[in-house]
Amino acid sequence: MRATLWLLALFAVAVASALFAGNNQGTVTIFWPPWRLDLSLNFVLLALALAFTTLYAALRALAALVALPRQAQRWRLQQKERAMHGALLDALAQLMSGRFLRSRKAAQAALEQEASLRSGGTAVPQGEALRVMSHLVAADASHALQDRSARDLHLQQALAAPEGSEAARPLELQEGTQLRAARWALDDREPLAALERLASLSQGAARRTLALRIRLKATRLAQQTQAALDTARLLGKHRAFSPAAAQSIVRGLATELIRNAHDPDQLTAHWMALDPAERDMPELAIHAAQRLAELGGEPAQVRRWLEPVWQQLVERPGDLGDLDARRLVRALETALESLDAQWLARIEAAQQANPRDARLQYLAGVACMQRQLWGKAQQLLSQAAPKLQDAGLRTHAWRHLAQLAERRGDLEGALAAWKSAAQDVA
């Protein structure tokens, strides 16, 4: 369409020129005493057009001739910039392919090109970013080559501002350099140095997923369990892990935190610092209760911590694994001292609701022993001992039966029970 319009316009100009020039009888007279020169108006107009065109072409040629040195300089600068960009791209490609020596050499070539341009007073676009990236690539290659001195030198140069440069360094470059340095410190098994690098970041950068992952590894390596647990929670909220993986990591860190408690007060503080969802995890509740019993905590407090897991076992027995159920019975057994009537009623009701569960029969028998209900304890333990699958619980059941037989004066029954216990241990 555009070509058609141009063609129509060209025809219109041609027609208008033909009409004007074909019947134009005008003349132009030039007086130069003692001469007189008569010229056709068409000729004068054509001569003026040719003169203007010739003058314009001559001026353009002169301008191009004057601009040749500047264009040559621009071409040389462009070639150096291309060589610098090419060297940096080559360094990155060699780094990804595992050729670390070649990567470092290419990065140093890029740095030399950038330094040459900067010393010549030429402002290269994104020159500061290219310089920092080249230093980071060279440092990364040196880190892979276990050349710590070269790595630290390139890192310092990446963090330092170039001499004679007033360009502001982008914030992303500073944050990226610190994050990279933190990862190198973590690879060198220096978690405190990695945490120090992370502390220099802004609040927004420190909460990014990459920074949180590095912080999690550093705090775990530095055995800062509470800080690692807080970081794992943030990573779970950021969906950095799958829900199952996040729950597993949080559970492992909380278990380690509970294991490191040295007295009941410290353990209670750690337990209350956990989220409600974490305290509802059966594994954590059982482990915390067992640790509290080991530290000499109150049996009533141990039972309170185990109460949610006990309710789950009674109301939804299929949701609790067999291992957790056995651990729950063992933990409750250690907390049956000064057992109140309420808990005894709970255990008996659970045993009566599940009469085939040998673990509940065993727990009810031990509870009856604590309440000095010898006959009922004898009956329950006798029924539970042969059916218990867990060797530890079965051994304890035979020992309790032996103690009950000794209390009755039944030496033959006590001897048989001790023998059965010894066989399970063997």
The confidence score (pLDDT) of residue 169 equals 63
pLDDT band, very low/low/confident/very high, at 135 (cuts 50, 70, 90): very high
pLDDT band, very low/low/confident/very high, at 162 (cuts 50, 70, 90): low
Rounded Cα distance between 358 and 384, Å, is 5
**In whole angstroms, how far apart are CA 56 and each of 35, 42, 43, 70, 139?**
31, 21, 20, 22, 57
Strand 35-40 and strand 27-32: pairing? antiparallel
Rounded Cα distance between 400 and 408, Å, is 13
Structure tokens at 38: 């008569």
CA-based nearest residue to 369, from 401, 323, 331, 342: 401
Q: Which residues of 322-338 are buried (b: 16+ CB within 10 A; e: fewer)?
A: eebbbbbbbbbbebbee
The confidence score (pLDDT) of residue 168 equals 56
pTM over 0.75: no
Give CA torsion, residues 210, 212, 214, 215, to 10 deg: 160
pLDDT band, very low/low/confident/very high, at 164 (cuts 50, 70, 90): low
- Do residues 130 and 85 lie in contact, with contact meaning Cβ atoms separated by under 8 Å? yes
CA-based nearest residue to 213, from 188, 239, 189, 190: 239
The number of residues in the chain equals 426
Q: Tokens 């028998």 appear where?
A: 365
pLDDT band, very low/low/confident/very high, at 171 (cuts 50, 70, 90): confident
Rounded Cα distance between 254 and 280, Å, is 12
Residue 183 has pLDDT above 70, yes or no: yes
The confidence score (pLDDT) of residue 367 equals 79
Query: pLDDT tens digits, residue range 251-274?
Result: 888 888 888 888 888 888 888 888
